[in-house]
Amino acid sequence: MRIHQIQKNKGQAMLISMVFLLFITLAIIAGLVGPSVREFKVANDYIRSRQSLYLSESGVEDSYYRLKNSIKVDDIEEINLNGHTAKTTIVEGYNERTITSVGDVVNRERTTELLVLAGTGVSFSYGVQVGIGGMTIGNGASVAGSVYSNGSIIGTGSAWIKGTAASANSADLYADQSNGSGTPAYDIVFANTNDTEDFAQSFEVSETGQLNKVKLYLKKVGTPGNLTVRLMSDSSGNPSGTTLTSGPLSSSLVSTNYGWVEVPLSSYEELEVEATYWIVIDGSANASKYYIIGVNDDGYEDGIGKIGNVSGTWNNTSPSGLDGFFELYLGGVTGLIEGVHVGDLGEGDAYAHAVNNSKIEGNNFCQIGEGNVDENNDDLPCNTSVQDPSAIPMPISDQNILDWKTEAEAGGVHTGDFILDSGSDSIEAIKITGNLVVRNPGTALTINGHVWVEGNLVVSNNSDINLSPSYQSSEGVIVVDGTVDINQNAEFGNSGVAGSYIMVLSTSISTSAINLENNAGAVILYAANGTVNLSPGGDAKALNGKYINIQNNANVTYETGLANSNFVNGPSGGWDIVGWKEIE
């Protein structure tokens, strides 16, 4: 019995030991397996997180590809990959898009954001792009596309921009040139005789900008008549006589004691570096009622004062080398959209500091405005949440133009006029020292290279200029130093491949740099320094110029094929990536 009890106790002890050993073994196994399980879970989460990131990036890339290639893309898009979804949102700002995409693989969300801006450079970013001269659009005229202007956009009657319209601000107001302070060393009397009726001061600006206003240090004797302050170009060291812009100066603002008088100008002329300009104070002669301007002796290095008559001759000051006291201000010009119907079918935004008396079918982004209505003709106040648009460069530089001229001249030189009155002809890259004239029904000229015309270009009376088939989907260029006239159903043809165009570019400063009177076909018109005029009944595919004047019942009809030349539907084309980041 005792022996049995001892054996029984030994069995219980062994069982207990085995149980303890089992728990110890399980604890060891758990200690070994637990971290591995956790590592596996972490690794699995990491893989799913990475998959979510790749999915998010796929959503961004898909939307960017659609923007870049002018494929329709909605504000919210979804793509599915391997049973998982990326949701992409596109937020539109003027001249930019923010693309945000959320990738979700088993609730492991990753979010990426891409910021893109409308591309600039040689590629065209807008169907209609205007320089500082701004655009006027007449009654019954329309732009089936979008407009970006570094100046104002002014319409009359039923003027209609069917896309988006933006009028940019210039740089902030600043004093670029000045001369004189304190008591003047000399006085110059003017507006007292015919020979000394006007005073002129030449100057050069330190950087390109729009002239906003002028200040002059003046006093008067008696009660002289009002003055006109004019900006003129230079002609052989004297004012040219051509007024670029002007502003009135009331006699009442000038005291009998010296003081600074401010003269705002009626329009904003862009001034170029290394060019000489003149401020001309134009008055009428009266021996007892006249003006005096404070001057110093050679105080201003970049110009000189002269006395004379704007309609007659100019003479040196006495003593010679005197300079008038003046201050010259650039910039400070705010954007304006006035009297235009913007948008179509409930879409199309207006962007400007001031929007007045316009019908806006989309958003009215402005800081001040009056008389605006929406698509239902209800009052439409300014949406002030978006900053004013800034001026952007024109898409073609002076160096681009010089390069094209060099390429043309390398192909050969034709001395004198090149006139094609009948039949067909073709030219390789060439410089023409005279005019290029193509006219009469059935007459056709084919270009096989860049063309530089030192004179004028005239294409008229049912004639054609065509792009060689060798260009395929590329564009040809005709650079014209003079003016361009396209009339009487003359037309430009592509290479035979949709989306190829001829660009006709004028470097003339004329207010008639380019005149178009009809539907010109596959041509892009560009006035680098002057005005593009689209006559009543005229129809263009794309316009670019320092100034653009779309007259009554003329039309700019934007074509889908222009996307191949970096024109796309809507406000911009050619999108450039400027920022990418993961935000969650």
Instruction: Report the distance separating Cα 108 and Cα 53, nearest Å.
Output: 9
**Helix, coil or strand: residue 60:** helix
Is-cis flag, bond preceding 319, omega within 30?
yes
Question: Which domains are delineated in the chain?
Answer: 2-118 (no CATH), 128-151+391-575 (no CATH), 174-330 (2.60.120)
Instruction: Report the distance separating Cα 574 and Cα 558, nearest Å.
Output: 16
Sign of the dihedral defined by the CA atoms of residues 57, 68, 120, 152, in that order: negative
Instruction: Report the distance separating Cα 135 and Cα 94, nearest Å.
Output: 19
Hey, what are 154's tokens? 């002014």
Distances (CA, A) of 129 to 153, 244, 331, 395: 11, 22, 20, 9
Instruction: Report the distance separating Cα 554 and Cα 144, nearest Å.
Output: 11
CB 323 within 8 A of CB 304: yes
CB 510 within 8 A of CB 530: yes
pTM to 2 decimal places: 0.65
CA torsion, points 523, 524, 529, 531, in degrees to nearest 10? 70
pLDDT tens, per residue, the chain with 584 residues: 555 555 555 556 666 767 667 767 666 665 655 555 555 555 566 677 777 777 787 788 788 877 665 455 678 888 787 778 888 988 866 457 788 989 888 777 888 888 877 554 345 556 789 998 899 999 999 998 889 999 999 999 999 999 899 999 987 889 999 999 999 999 999 999 999 999 999 999 999 888 999 999 999 999 999 999 999 999 999 999 999 999 999 999 999 999 999 999 888 888 999 999 999 999 999 999 999 999 999 899 999 999 999 999 999 999 999 999 999 999 888 999 999 999 998 889 999 999 999 999 999 999 999 999 999 999 999 999 998 998 887 878 788 899 899 999 999 999 999 999 999 999 999 999 999 999 999 999 999 999 999 999 999 999 999 999 887 767 789 999 999 999 999 999 988 887 788 999 999 999 999 999 988 888 889 999 999 999 998 888 889 999 999 999 999 886 644 444 532 223 333 566 777 777 76
Instruction: Report the distance separating Cα 146 and Cα 166, nearest Å.
Output: 8
Instruction: Report the distance separating Cα 492 and Cα 505, nearest Å.
Output: 14
